[in-house]
Amino acid sequence: MRALVIGEALIDVVERGGEGPTEHVGGSPLNVAVGLARLGRDVDFLTHIGTDARGERISEYVESSGAQLVPGSQSAQRTPTALATLDDTGAATYTFDIDWQLTGTPEVAPPVVVHTGSIATVLEPGCLATAALVDAYHLAATCTFDPNIRPALITDADSARARIDRFLERADVVKASDEDLRWIDPARSPEQITAAWLALGPSIVVVTMGGGGALAMCAAGTVRVPAFHVDVVDTVGAGDAFMTGLIDSLWSMDLLGADRRPGLAAIGPDALTTAVRAASLTAALTVSRGGADLPDRATLDAAASSAILT
């Protein structure tokens, strides 16, 4: 009962207003791996970082969360970075310095769920290996996908959209932001895109809309879940926290693994609402503190039983 997360890990160099830069461990897939581990899940994380000081910092961060770095992950010449510039609302824009490569088959126990997304699924040459691994693991594991578009790294939009479509066809659970959807297909509404994606094969497609809550579709229907009202420090890692909470909730419902695929496909509106609400709460706790600081199990459970977060 392990998760395998495939994707980039990097150092976020955060600049806010006139303040000096601060450095934080980041990367969308890394945040999901760490988030699941903090919730008590067994996680293997396959990435591409260096053995420099920043790479060692990432390695220590991942392992201190309880996740395991897959052997061979520290083979990069240098550890990737992302310059995150925050505006007055705490929203971040990014400038990247990253080399994404993967080789070989991960030396891990068979996972019950495989998650990937973001840079790992569109940036060559590693995106090709990521796709091949998802193809291979799809036979035995639930596949979850978050496109988490980074336009600054995309030089061929049509090629990137084609790669996203390939992952959609393999994915069982998809989560995207409304900002992602505007980049992918600005001519259609979130509802139209979500329905089209659901027709490609996923059992669940969820669209997050910041303070506007989340829209989720499954074969049984559509649900809308309002956002929790919290004081936002910044939005770094919000989508990753949502993805973490969604995977964790479906895991608790015993809906992960290829043998559970029929059950996942048959999920009803009530169970889907429960899962999306848990995901929303995980995101709310994350944006209420600085950086991608995802909650542990005790914090999440306490918030879930509290009357404050409504």
At 211, which CATH number? 3.40.1190.20
Q: What is the pLDDT along the chain (310 residues), one digit of tens a residue?
A: 999 999 999 998 878 776 778 888 999 999 999 999 999 999 999 999 999 999 999 999 999 999 999 999 999 999 999 887 877 776 777 788 999 999 888 989 999 999 999 999 999 999 999 999 999 999 999 999 999 999 989 999 999 999 999 999 999 999 999 999 999 999 999 999 999 999 999 999 999 999 999 999 999 999 999 999 898 888 888 999 999 999 999 999 999 999 999 999 999 999 999 999 999 999 999 999 887 899 999 999 999 988 455 4
Which residues 6+ apart lie within 8 Å of 195 measured at CB?
A: 217
Count: domains in the chain: 1
Q: Return the half-sphere exposure (C-beta side, CA atoms, 13 A cut-off) of residue 167.
A: 33
The whole-angstrom separation of Cα 129 and Cα 127 is 5
In a domain, 310, yes or no: no
Alpha-carbon separation of residue 22 from 15, 17, 144, 233 (angstroms): 7, 12, 31, 15
What pLDDT is stored for residue 163 in this prediction?
96
**Residue 244 Cα to chain centre, angstroms:** 7
The whole-angstrom separation of Cα 77 and Cα 83 is 19
Triad 303, 304, 310: Cα angle to 5°: 85
The whole-angstrom separation of Cα 239 and Cα 132 is 25
What is the pTM assigned to this prediction?
A: 0.94
What pLDDT is stored for residue 216 in this prediction?
98
Domain interval for residue 299: 3-305
Nearest to 246 by CA among 219, 302, 208, 197: 208
In a domain, 300, yes or no: yes
The whole-angstrom separation of Cα 126 and Cα 123 is 6
The whole-angstrom separation of Cα 24 and Cα 129 is 27
